[in-house]
Amino acid sequence: MTVSRRLSLGRAACGLLLTLAAAPAALAWNAGGHRIVAMIAWEAMDTQTRSAAAALLRAHPDFARWQERGGDADSDLTAFLEASTWPDDIRRDTRFYTAELETPTPTLPGFPDMERRLSWHYVDLPVGSKASKAGADGELDRQLAALSATVGSRQESITARAYALPWLIHLVGDAHQPLHTASRARPDGRSDNGGNEQPIVNPFDPRHPSTNLHRYWDDLPAPPWLRGSRLERAVSALSERFRQPRVAGSFGQWIEESRRLADESAYPPGRDEVPTIDNQFHENALAMARQRIVDAGHRLASLLQGLLGDSDRRSRPRP
């Protein structure tokens, strides 16, 4: 299977507007969801780790673009938040190309190449009673380990570490989305590609009720436009309501948690060809998605403090 099958993700807005405490919520691990993960991590990190992360991001070739979006906001925080969405943003950026579908574009200064690397965002492990005919696809598990090694290595160039850090921030979030780690077999035995090929009816989004299950989960935690004071209020509400993870765990544990949640709770009950999301499923899914967002934020903070913090405290994360 090629990376082209992920082109259907369409993470941008689906127009769903619910409320998260006082802040508008509901569309992420879309852009808003990734910013929440990043903001939780930023607030949990110590000053030294923030400074080290900011120094790397200032060396990223798109740093100036990120600052344009932040206006007069804290430049270091702006870079960290915008870096969290950068691996999705480049899907629509014509400087980059999709392997196997497009001709490679010229490599610009500061980049190792201009490939969008869609396969890094997921690993499709089989769930359900019927195994898919296709093997596990995607590189999320391998790239978490590889990118961490690059970010944490003082032997790597600043350019390499600056390129790797936005990917690492983003993929920690992706690893906590159940349908970024699992796929279920369709009746014909084909993989549903992380729910992308499972159509659903979502009555909680009257503007766009016809969607797919993967997009539904991507859009649960927050609207994609969430920034500024609304982002701060959303993070505050989540932090008050949802517990911090008891242990940081390993990359493999994060992915197994997500795979198990996908197997047990991410799919609507029954085997309707086009299931309709009901109120009980929706409320459970919202709670699960928001807990996973909080987990991802605190684990990202712990990971980066281990990679970038005081050398006496640094430890290599476990794969």
49-60 pLDDT, tens digit each: 999 999 999 999
The Cα 224–Cα 25 span in angstroms is: 9
Burial readout 107-132 (b: 16 or more C-beta within 10 A, e: otherwise): eeeebeebbbbbbbbbbbbbbeeeeb
Residue 299 resides in a domain? yes
29 pLDDT band, cuts 50/70/90, is: confident
pLDDT value of residue 72: 66
Residue 179 resides in a domain? yes
Q: How many domains does the chain have?
A: 1
Residue 8 resides in a domain? no
pLDDT value of residue 11: 33
CATH number, position 111: 1.10.575.10
Residue 28 resides in a domain? yes
Residue 260 resides in a domain? yes
Range scoring the smallest mean pLDDT among 6-20, 119-133, 204-218, 287-301: 6-20
Alpha helices in 198-278 (DSSP H): 213-218, 228-241, 251-261
The Cα 73–Cα 215 span in angstroms is: 30
pTM of the model: 0.87
Give the domain range for residue 70. Answer: 16-308
**pLDDT tens across 60-103, in order?**
999 999 999 877 678 999 999 999 999 999 999 999 999 999 99
Residue 11 resides in a domain? no
Of residues 256 and 128, the one with the higher pLDDT is 256
Q: Which of 161, 75, 149, 151 is nearest to 308 (CA)?
A: 151
Q: Average pLDDT over the chain, rounded to whole?
A: 87
Residue 233 resides in a domain? yes
Q: Which of 114, 123, 56, 124 is nearest to 87 (CA)?
A: 114
Residue 104 resides in a domain? yes
**pLDDT tens across 107-164, in order?**
999 999 999 999 999 999 999 865 544 456 899 999 999 999 999 999 999 999 999 9
